[in-house]
Amino acid sequence: MSTIIDRRSSGTRSTSNQERLQRRVRARLKTAVEKMARSGAIEDLANADQPISIPTRDLHEPSFRRDLSDASWERVLPGNKEYQRGDTITKPEGGGSKPGREGSPDGLGDDEVAIVLSADEFLDLLFDGLALPNLRKTAQGDVQAEQWRRAGFIKDGSPSRMHVGRTMRAARARRLALRAGKRRELQDLLDARASLQQEIHARLAQKQDISVEQERLNDLDRQIAALERKIKAIPFIDEADLRFAHIDQQPHPITNAVMFCVMDVSGSMGEKEKDLAKRFFLLLYLFLHRHYQAVQMVFIKHHSTASECSEQAFFGAREGGGTLVSPAIILSEEIMQQRFPPERWNVYLAQVSDGDNYFADNAVVAEHLSQLLPRLRNLFYLEVNRESESDLLQLYDGIAQDFPELITARASAREDIYPLFRSLFSTEEMPSHV
Amino acid sequence: MSKFLFTDNDWTFARIDAVTEAIAAIAEKELQLDTYPNQLEVISAEQMLDAYASIGLPVYYAHWSFGKQRAIESGQYRRGEMGLAYELVINSDPCISYLMEENTMTMQTLVIAHAAYGHNAFFKNNVFFRQWTDAEGILDYLAFAQRYIAQCEERFGMDAVTDVLDAAHAISRNGVDRARRPRQLSAREEEQRREERERYLEQQLSEIWRTLPPTPTSAGEKTTNFPPDPQENLLYFIEKNAPHLEGWKREILRIVRKIAQYLYPQGQTKIMNEGFACFVHYHIMHSLHRTGQITDGTMMEFYASHTAVVMQPDFDDRRYSGINPYALGFAMFQDIKRICVNPTEEDRRWFSFAGDPDWRKQVHFAMREFRDESFVLQYLSPKVMRDLHLFALRNDRDETTYRVSAIHDDGGYQHLREALALQIAEGNRPPDIQVVSVDRWGDRHLRLQQMDEQPLDQDEAQKTLGFVHSLWGYDVHLDMNDLSLREPLVSEVV
């Protein structure tokens, strides 16, 4: 009468409801996420589940309900200790008690509900509507990458790719198909033989001649033997059964992109400047990793010399010294030539600096930039924490007149970084998609 | 040699099997319970939270409000403010009971006795469940509903479907037939019906909107009222008569209405259902113990959770949150048995069945034929009222004090009974709001009227009216006792 089923493995089914809930309060979640991104530590935000409180009034479900706060009522209560009929009890001040009010489905009168966002959901909201600008499907002309993909099964191939399961299945099907007809025929013959033998016995019993029947019997036996041979001769496995897993080269468009992150770590970059720079790069880093699988990142730090470094070294960088910008630009150019030829890659460069540069270096920078820029999709230059525009920024702005790929911005406070980031990568004016 | 079913507290499938068998024997022989076949499903805590969010139904369509419910409950659960129920049981055939994997073997035993036999027998035998729900077809129907609403989301967009569901949910409590029994349909018939309805609706305009008079003497018809009698089922009325509602929206209203109808008896029999299940598990656990199948330790653990479940905090206790249906129901069913087995002089005055040698018959009769309101009116005995120290408190809006109108004494028993029955009835009923007229020949406005006395929450009513308006498509009025609301305009005092 009873069956027991273990359902534990079938997992939860709340995802679709969860998704609809988040969709409903998306605007509010977004505001909350953006607020957190402005002030909080982004590393922490991106690594853990984030509970975000949403006021329940946003999620209120109205219905026709009674409101007994200002009505007459009678209630039965348990636990009488001393009351007698006719006793009176003074009402609480302000008439605030609403014992008759029907239970609200929101439960417990909490006016906030916490929606827990996973790190991915958090980042999705954080970077909602952002994309790499000017990304092109194929870098130049019709250059496409080829990729090996599984493409079904074929009857011919190298032994190493033989698919045993499929082969055995085909063999079995062939054996069944080829045997079925012959088996049926054999059965008919056996039946005929059996009835013939009965006839022979009958005739023998009546002492009649059986020579014709005997001949027919011999004939049948021969046919049966022949059929049995044929059935036996059907091979267990045949060349026609062989199946091979097929792989095929399929063209797939390149959306490879590389981002050069260039950060000034010279002595003039104080703690605050570095914090702003790291914040920007961290957002960039999370954004690219969340949205693009194929995006490569190159980290370059520079003071008077420039060097490529690891991610950890980049974000933990503490150095000092004077400032030269050109070595970083030159290094980027070299790395690009060697590893990321612009005809195959969408190349982006993001540079953050406080704008201090050795005066004579500006001309060198200008020269190299004008060579570099035509091969970049974009160059973002962010200047941090300056009272006024630096010479370097003015130089960049000048170059930007001729090269729209160069985009400059300034930020002086933590709160500026995220809005600035949004405006740089907003898809609204940029038609490109991945 | 030990006959114990288990001596340590880890559950295994083999043990659950053995325990179920032992319980089945007791349920059948000693309690003569008639039950649906059982299907016991072991689930995790997360899955239990899922089930909570969808009113305990195993399959349900997707809607944000269930996500919200889950967010609230899992928050409370994580913060440790709420323990999860040990079980959930579905009124279906076979009867599905959920056992949480965290439960100890003792708890699993208790849960099987409580849900798989107590609730199960109640579902199968209580007249309201038999009259209003179709245990056999419900799982199919829920699957159909889930599929259909998912299809609608694909065809018409998630937002459009959500809007309809929001509106339907708002009036779902007013979407239940209280007076007549709906026809039962199997899921396949349901699907077929739906397609027919859709075809029909595409071809045909609704009869009430026929503007060509059928006879030249239709002048009289303008004055006849539509609907001829007030209609209590708002969802049904809108589904059938809204002038411009698309077919799929009507179908969604129908789904919400059907499920509300299915859930309706559960709200009407909370005290009885839980009381009876507690009565059954109490009997079964004792019987298992008496026959030496469970240990003293198991029994102690059982007592601990049983007393926690049927505990009734006093009105002035911090834990008080209304009358505990488990406590009241359990006390009443136990008392019916006591009145049969060991009646006092008082019982004989109050109950004609006092001293009946067949207490099973009396308990079964009570379980079968009543709902909470009538159950209390019929069976709440002076002893139970005394044990619970019940008293009634009256509030007159014009007075500055509450007045104790009855206590658990000879003068008060009858009054307490009636007051409690009324209180339960009102708690179980949504405000009585009915469709009184549709202006067929004018601007098609829909007029609703509140038929009972107690004041409505106006803010809520206005918002709900907004939903009614979104479904109806034309102006909607609601006449309340001393006030009239309309949508889309703001409220006006009459």
Interface of B with A in 367-426 (CB under 8 A): 388-397, 400-409, 411-412, 416, 419-420, 422-423, 426
Q: How many beta-carbon contacts under 8 Å exist across A and B? A: 246
CB contact under 8 A, A107 and B72: yes
CB contact under 8 A, B404 and A84: yes
Instruction: Tell me if the bond preceding A133 is cis, omega within 30° of 0.
Output: no
Query: Which residue is listed with tokens 């998912």?
Result: B150
Residue B288 at interface with chain A, using a CB cutoff of 8 Å: no
What pLDDT, on the 0 to 100 scale, is given for residue B180?
59
Chain B interface disruption, residue of A58, A64, A113, most B CBs within 10 A: A64
| Residues forming a β-bridge with A66 | B456
Cross-chain CB nearest to B397 (options A17, A71, A110) = A71
CB contact under 8 A, A17 and B401: no
Query: Which residue is listed with tokens 């309101």?
Result: B373
Chain A residues whose CB is inside 8 A of the B463 CB are 60, 62
Q: Is the pLDDT of residue A114 over 70?
A: yes
Highest mean pLDDT among A101-110, A147-156, A289-298: A147-156
More confident: A357 or A185: A185
CB contact under 8 A, A6 and B49: no
- Write the burial class of residue B492 (CB in 10 Å: 0-12 exposed, 13-18 middle, 19+ buried): exposed
Q: Which two tokens stand for residue A115?
A: 């929606």
Could you tell me if A86 and B404 are in contact, meaning their C-beta atoms sit under 8 angstroms apart? Answer: yes
Chain A nearest-CA distance from B268, in A, is: 15
pTM comes to 0.72
CB contact under 8 A, A70 and B66: no
What pLDDT, on the 0 to 100 scale, is given for residue A96?
45
CB contact under 8 A, A67 and B457: yes
Tell me the DSSP string of B162-212: HHHHHHHHHTGGG---SSSPPPP--HHHHHHHHHHHHHHHHH---GGG--S
Which amino acid, residue A275?
D
Chain A nearest-CA distance from B108, in A, is: 12
What pLDDT, on the 0 to 100 scale, is given for residue A24?
85
CA–CA distances in Å: residue A10 to residues A391, B43, B44, B48: 64, 9, 10, 12
Query: Which residue is listed with tokens 């953006």?
Result: A34
Chain B residues whose CB is inside 8 A of the A115 CB are 71
Nearest CA in chain A to B420: A76
Query: Which residue is listed with tokens 């009565």?
Result: B279
CB contact under 8 A, B37 and A6: no
Could you tell me if B105 and B18 are in contact, meaning their C-beta atoms sit under 8 angstroms apart? Answer: no
Chain A residues whose CB is inside 8 A of the B43 CB are 7-8
Chain A residues whose CB is inside 8 A of the B393 CB are 74-77, 89
- The proportion of chain A whose per-residue pLDDT surpasses 90, expressed as a percent, equals 11
Task: Taking residues B10-18, report their average pLDDT.
Answer: 91
Nearest CA in chain B to A13: B50
Q: If you compute the radius of gyration of chain A from its CA atoms, what whole number of angstroms results?
A: 40
Chain B residues whose CB is inside 8 A of the A10 CB are 47
- Write the burial class of residue B160 (CB in 10 Å: 0-12 exposed, 13-18 middle, 19+ buried): middle
Chain B residues whose CB is inside 8 A of the A19 CB are 62, 67
Nearest CA in chain B to A90: B401
CB contact under 8 A, B461 and A3: no
pLDDT digits (tens, 9 = 90+) for B286-328: 999 999 999 999 999 999 999 988 999 999 888 888 899 999 9
**CA-CA distance, B275 to B310, in Å (whole number)?**
9
Q: If you compute the radius of gyration of chain B from its CA atoms, what whole number of angstroms results?
A: 26
B49-58: b or e for each residue (b if 16 or more CB lie within 10 Å)?
bbbbbbebbb
Chain B residues whose CB is inside 8 A of the A73 CB are 394-395
Q: What is the DSSP letter of B37?
A: P
Q: Which two tokens stand for residue B447?
A: 């007029």
Could you tell me if A31 and A126 are in contact, meaning their C-beta atoms sit under 8 angstroms apart? Answer: no
Strand order in the sheet with B433-438: B433-438, B446-450, B476-479, B484-487
CB contact under 8 A, B389 and A21: no
A66-98: b or e for each residue (b if 16 or more CB lie within 10 Å)?
bbbeeeebbbbbbebeebeeeeeeeeeeeeeee
Could you tell me if A186 and A231 are in contact, meaning their C-beta atoms sit under 8 angstroms apart? Answer: yes
Band of pLDDT at residue B283, cut at 50, 70 and 90: very high
Could you tell me if B208 and B226 are in contact, meaning their C-beta atoms sit under 8 angstroms apart? Answer: yes
CB contact under 8 A, A17 and B66: yes
Band of pLDDT at residue B218, cut at 50, 70 and 90: very low
Helix axes B270-290, B296-309, angle to 10 degrees: 170
SS3 of residue A128 by DSSP: coil
Q: Is the pLDDT of residue B342 over 70?
A: yes
**CA-CA distance, B416 to B420, in Å (whole number)?**
6
Cross-chain CB nearest to A91 (options B21, B401, B461) = B401
CB contact under 8 A, B166 and A61: yes
| Residues forming a β-bridge with A295 | A257
Could you tell me if B32 and B131 are in contact, meaning their C-beta atoms sit under 8 angstroms apart? Answer: no
Cross-chain CB nearest to A4 (options B13, B391, B402) = B13
Cross-chain CB nearest to B464 (options A4, A64, A89) = A64
**CA-CA distance, B123 to B107, in Å (whole number)?**
22
- Write the burial class of residue A279 (CB in 10 Å: 0-12 exposed, 13-18 middle, 19+ buried): buried
Cross-chain CB nearest to B454 (options A66, A84, A114) = A66
More confident: B204 or A348: A348
Which H or E run includes B87? Answer: strand B87-90
- Give the residue from A142, A121, A145 showing the smallest Cα distance to A23: A121
Tell me the DSSP string of B329-368: HHHHHHHHHHHHHS--HHHHHH-TTTT-S-HHHHHHHHHH
SS3 of residue A113 by DSSP: strand
Strand order in the sheet with B38-43: A2-6, B38-43, B95-100, B87-90
Return all residues near B308 (Cβ < 8 A) that are at least 6 apart.
none
pLDDT digits (tens, 9 = 90+) for A205-241: 888 888 888 888 899 999 999 999 999 988 898 888 8
Band of pLDDT at residue B237, cut at 50, 70 and 90: very high
CB contact under 8 A, B75 and A3: no
Band of pLDDT at residue B181, cut at 50, 70 and 90: low
- Give the residue from B387, B406, B269 showing the smallest Cα distance to A76: B406
Band of pLDDT at residue A105, cut at 50, 70 and 90: very low
Return all residues near A293 (Cβ < 8 A) that are at least 6 apart.
none
Task: Taking residues A23-52, report their average pLDDT.
Answer: 75
Nearest CA in chain B to A116: B71
CB contact under 8 A, B67 and A107: no
Chain B nearest-CA distance from A39, in A, is: 25
Around Cβ A134, how many Cβ atoms within 10 Å? 15
Q: What is the DSSP letter of A140?
A: S
